[in-house]
Amino acid sequence: MTFRRIFILLAGLPSLLNAQDTINRIDPIGVQVTYEPNLRDARKIDLTPETEKRKFDVQRLDYSIYPVQWDARRVVKVQPPSKIKVNGDSSGTPNYAKAGYGQYNFKHLGVYLANRPNARFSYGVKLHHLSADQNKSSRDFSDNAVLLSGSRFFNRSSFTGIVSYDRNMVRFYGMDTAFKAEGMETKKITDAWKFSTKYENKELGKKPGFYAGFSFQQYGTNLDQSEAEVSAEAGAHKNLKNGRISGDFGLSTLQVRQDTNEQRYLFFDVRPSYRFQKKKTQLSAGFNATYLVEGSNQDFYINPVVHAEYQLMPDAVRVFAGISGGVQRNSLSRMNQINPFLYDSIPLRQTYENFSIYGGAKGKITNNSEFKVTLSHRNLVNMPLFINSGDSLNSFLPIYDNVGITRLNPEVRFGVGEKFKLSLSGMLNAYNLESGDKAWQLPNTEFIINASYQIGNKIRISSYIHGMGMRYQQIFQKQNNLKVKGFIDANLMSEYMLSERFRIWLTLANMTSNNYQYWYRYPRYGFTALGGLAISF
């Protein structure tokens, strides 16, 4: 009966939504000891798997909704290139290039170059361009990115370095029709430089494993905004007879400038943990501690982090529960990832998760299917909510509130070998705000369906359907309780293998042709077809 109810709940979610892109990877079902970042850069197209051994990113940000595609930038979902044989060797990821064109003058170019894996080193280069320039429209945008990565491997250690640069442009196309610029900037250009290094030493015998890393990011906009973030992190771990003990330490500085105003932050983080496993039980326990300095203000936060699992039915069902919390960092660049239509001089505060408590069950339905159901409640202080600023551009600004979020999140996944895969995920949310206002821009219902099918050795087809319920919005100091209609966005991606090296691809995005709005006054592109050629070499 439990499984039947899950299916009924998932099947009924679309009917809760008014027909009005995030392409979430189908990850294996697992329980997170802490809530990991749910944000991904929704403006980037996945070209190929990363070459670096392990990305180093000490910054973490958790937001309560999926990072949805805000225009049509991610209308393409290109599968990783198939492995090809070179001199009889099919290991590793080949070099890869992709180009395409579509409606609204969509143009896409992606290049990925990497060496074949070996025991000594790896390196890679990734180039990306995606833009659109619709005739007689201000919805044009441009995304450009380059990433260089390399790793050197030793007997029990490795050293990795990553350098990247992103330059993106978007217009405030939701502006009032009678608006005249008169010196006010109507487009937003962002630049971001990132550099990170990491040294990692594996555990060997009685010697513990450890790592140390450093990262730097410089971010700025043409709206007289800039920020610099410098971070260092180190940690160690040691396996014990029935468990594992580990500890992580981080130190970060963040300097933010908007016009003539400047904010400075210092974060010092300590995260020790101990994991124990015996027979049917798994237990991990530790704490998150942060010493935060903001100007002349100093605060100390500490939260227990506990996760427990118990095998209820052998090889079938596990139940789990846990509690966590901690400081969630906010910055200009992170805010822009959530909402690119923020203007200058936005208020910036750090978010503190008082606690997050969760519980549920996960396991197998059959040998080819699995499920997970999670019920959670979170309490956040200074959570950012985005409202319309009320200016002629209809830009947005964050306001902060203390928010409680209760969520039911059922998930089901099916698979038939490598030929067919299906993933269904739903979310039912309830919000409680200290101010008594609405949870601006946050949905009460949301679902995602992913599916992929391989036809022979030539054709691969995948689909992505994303639905979200009605959300409340307001205009600053003007109108409250505006409603942004719900939507269902259906996308179909396909590719045909001409040979081992050449393939053609086609993406049909927003197939219901809804010019729905995710952000108030900013309608999406309607039905969009985009296709091209991909080459592996």
For residue 534, the tally of other CB atoms under 10 A from its CB is: 22
pLDDT at 1 over 70: no
DSSP 28: P
Contact 514, 525 (CB under 8 A): no
User: Which element (helix H / strand E) includes 256?
Assistant: strand 243-258
For residue 2, the tally of other CB atoms under 10 A from its CB is: 9
Mean pLDDT throughout 32-49?
28
pLDDT at 43 over 50: no
Q: CA–CA separation, 492 vs 511, rounded Å? A: 8
CA quadruple 335, 337, 341, 343: dihedral sign: positive
- Residue 334 three-state SS: helix
pLDDT, greater one: 93 or 518: 518
Mean pLDDT throughout 267-281?
95
User: Which element (helix H / strand E) includes 387?
Assistant: strand 369-388
Mean pLDDT throughout 148-160?
94
Contact 140, 132 (CB under 8 A): yes
Q: CA–CA separation, 20 vs 446, rounded Å? A: 13
Mean pLDDT throughout 508-525?
89
pLDDT at 361 over 60: yes
pLDDT at 377 over 50: yes
Q: What is the pLDDT of residue 315?
A: 82
Contact 98, 47 (CB under 8 A): yes
Q: What is the pLDDT of residue 180?
A: 66
Mean pLDDT throughout 319-333?
96
Least confident of 63-67, 132-136, 138-142, 280-284: 63-67
pLDDT tens per residue, range 65-96? 333 333 333 333 333 343 333 333 444 456 98
Q: CA–CA separation, 316 vs 310, rounded Å? A: 11
Q: What is the pLDDT of residue 270?
A: 98
Mean pLDDT throughout 517-535?
92
Instruction: Identify the CATH number of the domain in which residue 203 sits.
Output: 2.40.170.20
Q: What is the pLDDT of residue 181?
A: 61
pLDDT tens per residue, range 167-210? 999 999 988 776 666 667 889 999 999 999 999 999 998 899 99
Q: CA–CA separation, 407 vs 206, rounded Å? A: 43
Q: CA–CA separation, 206 vs 208, rounded Å? A: 6
Residue 90 CB burial class (10 angstroms; 0-12, 13-18, ≥19): exposed
pLDDT tens per residue, range 348-360? 999 999 999 999 9
Q: CA–CA separation, 82 vs 501, rounded Å? A: 9
Portion of the chain with pLDDT greater than 90, in percent: 68
pLDDT at 116 over 70: yes
Closest CA to 371 of 407, 320, 324: 320
Token pair recorded at residue 33:
């000891």
Q: CA–CA separation, 115 vs 95, rounded Å? A: 8
Q: What is the pLDDT of residue 416?
A: 85
pLDDT, greater one: 100 or 390: 100
Q: What is the pLDDT of residue 114?
A: 92
Q: What is the pLDDT of residue 473?
A: 94
pLDDT at 296 over 70: yes
Token pair recorded at residue 449:
């369906």
Q: Which residues are within 8 A (CB) of 417 and not within 5 positions of it... i.e. 6 or more apart?
A: none
Mean pLDDT across the chain: 83
**C-alpha angle with apex 318: 312 to 321, nearest 5 degrees?**
110
* The pairing of beta strand 471-475 with beta strand 459-468: unpaired
Q: CA–CA separation, 60 vs 252, rounded Å? A: 12
Q: CA–CA separation, 70 vs 90, rounded Å? A: 38
Domain that holds residue 503: 2-536
pLDDT tens per residue, range 205-245? 889 999 999 999 999 999 999 999 999 999 999 999 889 99
Q: How many domains does the chain have?
A: 1
Q: What is the pLDDT of residue 423?
A: 95
Q: What is the pLDDT of residue 94?
A: 67
Contact 215, 195 (CB under 8 A): yes
pLDDT at 56 over 50: no
Buried b / exposed e across 508-524, counting CB within 10 Å, b at 16+? bbbbeebebbbbbbbbb
Q: Which residues are within 8 A (CB) of 288 and not within 5 positions of it... i.e. 6 or more apart?
A: 34, 269, 270, 271, 301, 302, 303, 305, 324, 325, 326, 327
Q: What is the pLDDT of residue 384?
A: 96
> Whole-prediction pTM value?
0.81
Q: What is the pLDDT of residue 392?
A: 87
Mean pLDDT throughout 273-291?
95
Q: CA–CA separation, 268 vs 275, rounded Å? A: 23
pLDDT, greater one: 385 or 43: 385
Tell me how long the chain is: 537
Single-letter amino acid code for the residue at 156:
R
pLDDT at 165 over 70: yes
E-only strand ranges, 16-75: none
Q: What is the pLDDT of residue 515?
A: 85
